[in-house]
């Protein structure tokens, strides 16, 4: 039985529904501003999310979804410009308060801080996006709540590579058995498992059909007493108490036991 020492949070799709409410509309606005005539529907985006990283996703789209005659000649340079524009639009959306944390996230972060459980971030997104989300939802001090923040600025290899999780483990004074990862996607689960980390999956509209058989628990939200979580599966679903249907430290400690 391992003692719960740290929670490692993914960002996009886990802390907030940033993909559907933030990144996707920002990608489309950047495409429109550049006069490209590209448009990503929610259905296409669900498929494109298999490619982690905004730049990588756009390059994949150019190579696999555009006919050869519509592929831009200098794709890498175009993608670099589009990514900067997308992130500017995304951060404006955050600053205007249009994106909220998912149900139960703020409560669980506060519980962990009170309970002396370390917090960390492991994301393939860039640091400025993460900081903008934390500040707009949790306040100007929120960055300091996290002992380690591993983002695309620190680790270039994208999930499902385990590198971002290995980086967190290298910088967090805590053995992998004492850490629990919170993720929303198959790529995230594969990355965490490849770093020998146990994982709770909290699905969203884009990720609910993934294969999460390796997860300890699969729920549709972390939830609150007044906004219950639904149990969807997991190797340790025996820990989920239907009389207390939300994710708290009691449940997370049970998962590692």
| Catalytic center residues | 10, 12
Q: Sketch the per residue contact string, 80 through 109, with ligand XBP: x for CB under 6 A, - otherwise.
A: ---x--------------------------
Asked whether position 188 contacts ligand XBP by CB under 6 A, the answer is yes
Separation of alpha carbons 8 and 47, rounded Å? 26
Nearest to ligand XBP of 125, 136 (CB atom): 125
* Nearest CA among 225, 257, 224, 218 for reference residue 240: 218
Q: Is-contact 233 212, C-beta < 8 A? A: yes
Nearest to ligand XBP of 53, 245 (CB atom): 53
Exposure of 207 by Cβ count < 10 A (0-12 exposed, 13-18 middle, 19+ buried)? Answer: buried
The number of C-alpha atoms within 13 Å of 185 and in the hemisphere containing its C-beta is 24
Torsion of CA 22, 185, 152, 31, to 10 degrees: -40
The partner in contact with residue 189, picked from ligand XBP, Mg ion, none with C-beta cut-offs of 5 to 8 angstroms by kind, is none
Pick one of 103, 125, 199, 204: the residue that binds ligand XBP (CB under 6 A): 125
Asked whether position 166 contacts Mg ion by CB under 5 A, the answer is no
The number of C-alpha atoms within 13 Å of 224 and in the hemisphere containing its C-beta is 10
**What is the β-pairing status of strands 217-219 and 231-233?**
antiparallel
Smallest distance from the beta carbon of 174 to Mg ion, in angstroms? 22
Smallest distance from the beta carbon of 15 to ligand XBP, in angstroms? 9
Smallest distance from the beta carbon of 156 to ligand XBP, in angstroms? 11
Asked whether position 126 contacts ligand XBP by CB under 6 A, the answer is yes
Asked whether position 19 contacts ligand XBP by CB under 6 A, the answer is yes
Q: What is the 3-state secondary structure (H, E, C) of 56-93?
A: HHHHHHHHHHCCHHHCCCCHHHHHHHHHHHHHHHHHHH
Burial 182-197 (b: 16+ CB within 10 A, else e): bbbbbbbbbbbbebeb
The partner in contact with residue 190, picked from ligand XBP, Mg ion, none with C-beta cut-offs of 5 to 8 angstroms by kind, is none
State the CB neighbour count (10 A cutoff) for residue 178: 16
Segment 44-103, which members bind Mg ion (CB under 5 A)?
none
Asked whether position 124 contacts ligand XBP by CB under 6 A, the answer is yes
Segment 4-23, which members bind Mg ion (CB under 5 A)?
10, 12-13
Pick one of 17, 91, 184, 198: the residue that binds Mg ion (CB under 5 A): 184
Pick one of 4, 6, 8, 11: the residue that binds ligand XBP (CB under 6 A): 11
Q: Which residues bind Mg ion (CB under 5 A)?
A: 10, 12-13, 184-185
Q: Which residues bind ligand XBP (CB under 6 A)?
A: 10-13, 19, 23, 52-54, 83, 123-126, 129, 152, 159, 185, 187-188
């Amino acid at each position: 039985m391992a003692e719960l020492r740290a929670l490692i949070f993914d960002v996009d799709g886990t802390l907030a529904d940033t993909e559907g409410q933030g990144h996707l509309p920002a990608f489309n606005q950047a495409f429109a501003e550049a006069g490209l005539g590209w448009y990503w529907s929610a259905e296409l985006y669900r498929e494109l999310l298999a490619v982690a990283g905004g730049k990588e996703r756009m390059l994949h789209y150019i190579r696999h979804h555009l006919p050869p005659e519509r592929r831009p000649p200098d794709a890498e340079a175009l993608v670099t410009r589009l990514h900067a524009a997308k992130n500017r639009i995304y951060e404006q959306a955050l600053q205007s308060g249009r994106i909220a944390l998912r149900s139960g996230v703020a409560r669980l972060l506060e519980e962990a801080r009170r309970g002396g459980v370390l917090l960390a971030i492991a994301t393939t997104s860039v640091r400025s996006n993460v900081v903008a989300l934390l500040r707009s939802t949790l306040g100007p001090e929120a960055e300091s709540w996290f002992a380690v923040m591993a983002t695309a600025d620190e680790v270039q290899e994208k999930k499902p590579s385990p590198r971002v999780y290995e980086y967190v483990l290298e910088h967090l004074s805590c053995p992998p058995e004492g850490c629990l990862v919170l993720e929303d996607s198959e790529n995230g689960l594969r990355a965490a498992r490849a770093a020998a980390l146990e994982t709770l999956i909290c699905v969203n509209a884009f990720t609910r059909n993934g294969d999460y058989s390796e997860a300890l628990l699969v729920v549709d939200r972390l939830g609150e007493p007044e906004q219950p979580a639904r149990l969807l599966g997991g190797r340790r679903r025996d820990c989920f108490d239907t009389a207390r249907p939300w994710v708290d430290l009691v449940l997370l400690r049970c998962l590692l036991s």
